[in-house]
């Protein structure tokens, strides 16, 4: 058992006969009091019971950890706020953390992990869908807002996007009813529709499409 003891010495430590010691090593599983006694002398009981050494267990844990890591993508959380209101000033957009998302979920959603970003909402113009300080996952690979003329019976809600405007970064439902116009819509009825045309439209830049959000209940 790699303790540097003879069978007779180990038997003495365990308080058993040499014959019993030989039987335990060859064919008979030892009782609990025997295992407890030799554990005190430094024997690796896990190895005796399972046949696996500490290095074997470490290798398995490492393999398991790598397998878990392969299943998840670490998405950066940026120190940035997107205004659900009229403006949100960001002094920095440093990465302040990460949040793990399953890769198979990202694949089903058609999101490339290296194109995904997380930011926070500031304001209540998108309530009750989004609230102040909610996290949002943004697909920066989805930046194309198609021109779509809405028919009178079309009640579909426009998608939510993160948008850079002359007033700062915003988070709104975005609609393009015609090529020269972009509408920023809020879910909170207290906020009117914002219409961007001309120079304001030229300066507007779609950051990406909001594909997930997380809300923390604060009560």
- Identify the pLDDT of residue 149: 83
- Identify the pLDDT of residue 64: 59
Q: What is the 8-class DSSP label of residue 131?
A: -
Provide the whole-model pTM: 0.65
- The whole-number mean pLDDT for each consecutive block of 10 residues of the chain, a chain of 219 residues, reads 70 80 74 78 70 63 59 88 56 76 94 92 92 93 89 86 89 94 95 94 93 82
Measured CA to CA, the distance from residue 180 to residue 178 in angstroms comes to: 6
List, in sequence order, the alpha helices (H) in 6-120.
7-14, 18-26, 32-39, 45-50, 54-71, 103-109
- Identify the pLDDT of residue 194: 94
- Identify the pLDDT of residue 86: 43
Measured CA to CA, the distance from residue 42 to residue 49 in angstroms comes to: 15
Place of tokens 């920023």: 184
- Identify the pLDDT of residue 216: 75
């Amino acid at each position: 058992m790699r303790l540097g003891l003879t069978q007779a010495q180990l038997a003495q430590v365990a308080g058993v006969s040499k014959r019993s010691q030989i039987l335990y090593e060859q064919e008979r599983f030892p009782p609990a009091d025997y295992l407890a006694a030799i554990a005190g002398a430094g024997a690796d009981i896990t190895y005796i019971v399972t046949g696996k050494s500490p290095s074997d267990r470490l290798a398995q844990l490492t393999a398991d950890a790598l397998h878990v890591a392969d299943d998840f993508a670490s998405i950066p959380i940026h120190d940035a706020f997107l205004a659900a209101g009229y403006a949100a000033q960001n002094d920095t957009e440093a990465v302040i953390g990460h949040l793990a998302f399953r890769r198979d979920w990202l694949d089903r959603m058609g999101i490339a992990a290296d194109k995904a970003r997380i930011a926070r909402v500031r304001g209540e113009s998108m309530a009750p869908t989004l609230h102040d300080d909610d996290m949002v996952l943004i697909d920066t690979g989805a930046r194309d807002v198609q021109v779509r003329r809405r028919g009178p019976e079309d009640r579909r809600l426009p998608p939510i996007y993160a948008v850079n405007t002359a007033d700062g970064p915003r988070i709104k439902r975005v609609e393009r009813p015609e090529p020269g116009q972009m509408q920023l819509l809020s879910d909170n009825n207290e906020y009117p529709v914002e219409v961007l045309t001309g120079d304001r439209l030229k300066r507007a830049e779609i950051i990406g499409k909001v594909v997930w959000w997380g809300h923390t209940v604060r009560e």
